[in-house]
Amino acid sequence: MTESAHSAPHSELDLENRLIKFLHIKTHDHDTSLRDLHPADFADQFEELTKDQREEFLSTSPELISPEILAELEDEVVEDILPLLSHDQIAEALTELDNDDATQIFEEIETQQREEILEALEPTDRAKLEASLAFDDETIGRLMQREFVAAPPFWTVGDTIDHMRATGEDLPDLFYNIWVIDTKFHPLGFIPVSRLMRMPRATTLREMMNDQIITIAQDMDQEEAAYIFEKYHLISAPVLDSDGRISGIMTVDDIIDIIQDENKEDMLALAGVTDAGLTDTALSTVKSRAPWLFINLLTAIVASLVIARFDYTIQEIVQLAILMPIVASMGGNAGTQALAVVVRSLAERDLTPQTTWRAIRREAVAAAINGLVFAVALAFIAYIWFGRFDIAQVAFIAMVINHFFAGLAGILVPLGLKKLGQDPAVSSSVFVTTVTDVVGFLAFLGFAALMLL
Amino acid sequence: MTESAHSAPHSELDLENRLIKFLHIKTHDHDTSLRDLHPADFADQFEELTKDQREEFLSTSPELISPEILAELEDEVVEDILPLLSHDQIAEALTELDNDDATQIFEEIETQQREEILEALEPTDRAKLEASLAFDDETIGRLMQREFVAAPPFWTVGDTIDHMRATGEDLPDLFYNIWVIDTKFHPLGFIPVSRLMRMPRATTLREMMNDQIITIAQDMDQEEAAYIFEKYHLISAPVLDSDGRISGIMTVDDIIDIIQDENKEDMLALAGVTDAGLTDTALSTVKSRAPWLFINLLTAIVASLVIARFDYTIQEIVQLAILMPIVASMGGNAGTQALAVVVRSLAERDLTPQTTWRAIRREAVAAAINGLVFAVALAFIAYIWFGRFDIAQVAFIAMVINHFFAGLAGILVPLGLKKLGQDPAVSSSVFVTTVTDVVGFLAFLGFAALMLL
């Protein structure tokens, strides 16, 4: 913003100062205007405010939340602030935004408000919103954009460009491909915009279109669609309804959000965090972690029951109590390593029938080798520490066995869960660590009871 | 492929049958041709072959590996097969592909072959390759595409379209934005191609360009660039050299690959797998996992040293040996949960100075609450199991303490490592689990020694 902007009326300056104070904008010159911020930057700053600060901000200057900023804010924040905006402002945002962004915002509106806001919309906008909301969460039908550019194959480059110049406002803000369709909206091919623009005006779309068209289905899970985009390096893809007609498109910027969500979900699920949402408060944090801690308590008790079977052995040879956590911990880590690699491979679709057997063999061999190496190490340490060769021997055997089981559990558990239709990221950890704890304690204390007493 | 294709000479048919056999293509009709496969699909199928099968395939029909397929194959596979291709075929692929893909393939060529292949290239292609290779791995200068479309601000829409029609072949295959530049190649703004095409031919670029241009630096780390793309929903962005001139562009399809690599690295690092590459053989698997297992052995021994200090206590009250793994395991899980959430938040840049304190408070409070809940649970179980209120009391205290330390370690360790310039995903786990093991055993056995003997 240049000096001239300072001639704005006093009240507006006041407003800006208030906002700058609120938003903690650190700037070297005082000319920085909030209105010049990129919506994504504004949203980032706004999200850093506490709930009280946000409310204070909105009570004085709700008009600063433009539709673009609303589209950039995290769902949780949108849910918080929507009740503080007027119905008119919300309806205006829903009208102005592309349909996919509008749907995401609409989802956060409380049920009793929805009807009123829907009535404030133009019939076409309302119809598009309702069509999207008819699909399940995390399916493409819900996420796709219903505005796209399509043309019949007999049009020329010139026809197409002229048509777009004439249509203007009604086209999506940005698009990357022209979809060539037949009279029933079935896709025949596509033409990247950068290609269309380079061709002579007289060329027909049919002559220049690429018919190796990759499509996605509107009832497809978002993860599946993200995989297709990634594999084929797509920027946008048409979404087909059950009759094979184009009903919308997906674009790569939404796909990146999906990829990040899915990655976050997998990573947190492996660590036993149930809800991958933004857990801002201590209470929601407790809720998202307690379930897994509860399951872990149960499995730890199972492992303790194994130890309890050998209480007499431990009382006789207390060194066993000192070494047994090492055996269990090493197995747990080896299992977790295998598990993380397998879950990641499954997410990347690297495990096909051909490669699965190779992967199982690889994990078994690797577990056996690492098991042997670290069994030797622990046996050596045990011998040095306690001066007893028999204890060293027991530690060696238990380590080899537990590593082998850990490696196998690390790959067979997620594969098995996947086969049963479960998400391997969510439920594998608990099975794998239970296996390594139980096998670790059982092998170590069991062989000790057999060989040492 | 239609029936007419079957009129190909006998030898070609033979070739195709051989490949179909090799590639295990399952198809309902026998008309599917390998040549009709999308390069990404061909690459997927080819990667499933064993090393021997790949070699057999290439000894008979190396020409089937088109430049596009080469660009789709995983780095490890490219490295394997490049020695089996002729220098001419490699040079042709490097020439035909966009500069960023060519660089990635060139990196896999063995050093002694590089000079010969460079000499077989056109001077401009060679210069571009050498310029990219001068940058560090995982920086934007190495990854960017050096072909882009730029125009001066005084050109009209008509000038620009005519210029592109005339240039034709020398333009990149696909592009999404026209970069408006001054005479020194500094960016002034950008125009999405879909926008350019809609505007009247007489409009100048200056009139219609968007000057809120997001750029990236050529010495930027790839992770930083990916974050910028994600935040601003970019499809492509200009890369600036140290003088602020455009030297290339990054496009979103490469960014998706970066995002997936970084996610994979974080997830595997958290589970203690060192090398996030495709670990195909058992030996490379052993190598990628042994370092962490070794460190875990050392830290487990530290925890055992704590236990060893209390061997007399355990011998007196063997129930302690039964319960102590539960305390350590619960702490370890609580710590890992906090750690995964924090590492993910750091990756998403959600932790700013403002929000970090809130996050620390949140983790501390959540740890205290979960600690209390599960301390009560374990104390109850201990009392039922062993009928001793004093043991239950000790279990309660140890659980509360260990959960609290687990939560704090889960957030303070990654924040501290980050501050020291370390990757928090790689090195945090070992510190956190060491804390929870040592604190768990120390608190449980220490209080037992104090209160029960």
Asked if B244 and B322 sit in the same domain, the reply is: no
What's residue B17's pLDDT? 59
Q: What is the mean pLDDT of residues B172-189?
A: 93
Q: Is the pLDDT of residue B294 over 90?
A: yes
What's residue A275's pLDDT? 63
Interatomic CA distance for residues A155 and B70, integer angstroms: 35
Asked if B118 and B82 sit in the same domain, the reply is: yes
Interatomic CA distance for residues B436 and B284, integer angstroms: 31
- Residue type, position A2, single letter: T
Domain assignment present for residue B114? The answer is yes
Residue A231 with chain B: CB contacts under 8 Å: 40, 44
Domain assignment present for residue B269? The answer is no
Asked if B104 and B198 sit in the same domain, the reply is: no
Q: Which of A261-270, A321-330, B310-319 has the lowest mean pLDDT?
A: A261-270
B24 part of contact set with chain A, CB < 8 Å: yes
What's residue A37's pLDDT? 83
Hey, which residues does A275 pair with through a beta bridge?
A: none
What is the nearest CA distance from A315 to chain B, expressed in angstroms? Answer: 5
CB contact under 8 A, A279 and B233: no
**A27-41, A121-135, A367-381 — most confident range:** A367-381
Asked if A407 and A442 sit in the same domain, the reply is: yes
User: How many helices, marked H, and strands, marked E, lie in chain A?
Assistant: 21, 6
CB contact under 8 A, A282 and B319: no
What's residue B22's pLDDT? 57
Distances (CA, A) of B391 to A314, B42, B340, B386: 18, 64, 32, 8
Residue B77 with chain A: CB contacts under 8 Å: none
Q: Is the pLDDT of residue A371 over 80?
A: yes
Q: Which residues fall within 8 angstroms of residue B151, CB to CB, at 6 or more apart?
A: B159, B160, B163, B178, B179, B180, B181, B205
What's residue A23's pLDDT? 58
Q: Per-residue confidence at A349, pLDDT binned at 50, 70, 90?
A: confident
Q: What is the mean pLDDT of residues A75-89?
A: 89
What is the nearest CA distance from A170 to chain B, expressed in angstroms? Answer: 11
Residues 312-351 of B with CB under 8 A from A: 314-315, 318-319, 321-326, 328-330, 333-334, 336-337, 339-341, 343-344, 348, 350
The H or E element that residue A216 is part of is strand A216-217
Q: What is the mean pLDDT of residues B340-359?
A: 87
What's residue A9's pLDDT? 42
Interatomic CA distance for residues B396 and B382, integer angstroms: 9
Q: In total, how many domains does chain A have?
A: 3
Residues 378-407 of A with CB under 8 A from B: 378, 381
Instruction: Tell me the residue ranges of DSSP E strands in B197-309.
Output: 216-217, 236-240, 246-251
pLDDT in tens, A106-141: 989 888 888 888 888 889 889 989 899 899 888 899
Residues 265-284 of A with CB under 8 A from B: 266-268, 270-273, 278-283
Mean pLDDT (chain A) is 87
pLDDT in tens, A297-327: 999 999 999 999 999 999 999 999 999 999 9
Of B204, B225, B260, which closes a domain? B260
CB contact under 8 A, A280 and B323: no
What's residue A416's pLDDT? 95
Domain assignment present for residue B268? The answer is no
CB contact under 8 A, B293 and A214: no
Distances (CA, A) of B422 to A43, B416, B425, B427: 29, 9, 9, 8
Domain assignment present for residue A114? The answer is yes
CB contact under 8 A, A235 and B229: no
Q: What is the mean pLDDT of residues B264-291?
A: 81
Asked if A438 and A289 sit in the same domain, the reply is: yes
Report which of A358, A347, A348, A408 is spatially closest to residue B280, judged by C-alpha positions: A358
Asked if B12 and B132 sit in the same domain, the reply is: yes
A232 part of contact set with chain B, CB < 8 Å: yes
Q: Write the CATH number for A59.
A: 1.25.60.10
B308 part of contact set with chain A, CB < 8 Å: yes
Domain assignment present for residue B372? The answer is yes
A425 part of contact set with chain B, CB < 8 Å: no
Q: Per-residue confidence at B55, pLDDT binned at 50, 70, 90?
A: confident
What is the nearest CA distance from A87 to chain B, expressed in angstroms? Answer: 28
Hey, which residues does B179 pair with through a beta bridge?
A: B150, B190
What's residue B1's pLDDT? 33
Q: What is the mean pLDDT of residues B368-377?
A: 96
What's residue A21's pLDDT? 59
**A11-25, A177-191, B158-172, B271-285 — most confident range:** A177-191
The residue among A167 and B315 whose pLDDT is bigger is B315
Q: Which residues fall within 8 angstroms of residue B232, CB to CB, at 6 or more apart?
A: A38, A40, B214
CB contact under 8 A, B263 and A268: no
Asked if A309 and A446 sit in the same domain, the reply is: yes
Considering chain A, what percentage of its residues have pLDDT values greater than 70? 91
Query: What domain range includes position A172?
Result: 150-270
Asked if A134 and A183 sit in the same domain, the reply is: no
pLDDT in tens, B7-20: 344 454 555 555 55
Interatomic CA distance for residues B177 and B164, integer angstroms: 13
B100 part of contact set with chain A, CB < 8 Å: no
**Which chain A residue's Cα is nearest to B437?**
A325
pTM: 0.85
Q: Write the CATH number for A434.
A: 1.10.357.20
Q: Write the CATH number for B233.
A: 3.10.580.10
Interatomic CA distance for residues B377 and A277, integer angstroms: 27
Asked if A101 and A186 sit in the same domain, the reply is: no
What's residue A385's pLDDT? 96
State CA A295 to chain mean position distance.
Answer: 24
What's residue A436's pLDDT? 95
Mean pLDDT (chain B) is 87
Q: Which of A42-46, A176-180, A384-388, A447-451 has the lowest mean pLDDT?
A: A42-46
Of B143, B176, B208, which closes a domain? B143
CB contact under 8 A, A165 and B311: no
A303 part of contact set with chain B, CB < 8 Å: yes
Q: Is the pLDDT of residue B6 over 70?
A: no
What is the nearest CA distance from A74 to chain B, expressed in angstroms? Answer: 11
Q: Is the pLDDT of residue A444 over 90?
A: yes
What's residue A19's pLDDT? 59
Interatomic CA distance for residues B107 and B79, integer angstroms: 9
Burial of B135 (0-12, 13-18, 19+ CB in 10 A): middle
Domain assignment present for residue A351? The answer is yes
Report which of B428, B430, B253 is spatially closest to residue B339, judged by C-alpha positions: B428
Asked if B351 and B378 sit in the same domain, the reply is: yes
CB contact under 8 A, B300 and A330: yes
Residue A335 with chain B: CB contacts under 8 Å: none
Q: What is the mean pLDDT of residues A101-107?
A: 91
Q: What is the mean pLDDT of residues B120-125?
A: 88
Q: Is the pLDDT of residue B137 over 90?
A: no
Q: Which of A84-98, B347-361, B395-409 has the lowest mean pLDDT?
A: B347-361
Domain assignment present for residue B274? The answer is no
Asked if A371 and A345 sit in the same domain, the reply is: yes
pLDDT in tens, B143-161: 999 889 999 999 999 999 8
Report which of B126, B117, B389, B425 is spatially closest to residue B274, judged by C-alpha positions: B425
Burial of A383 (0-12, 13-18, 19+ CB in 10 A): middle
Q: Per-residue confidence at A45, pLDDT binned at 50, 70, 90?
A: confident
Task: Say which of A230, A293, A307 has its CB closest to residue B256.
Answer: A230
What's residue B251's pLDDT? 93
What's residue B160's pLDDT? 92
Of B122, B143, B164, which closes a domain? B143
Domain assignment present for residue A277? The answer is no
Asked if B255 and B121 sit in the same domain, the reply is: no
What's residue B16's pLDDT? 54
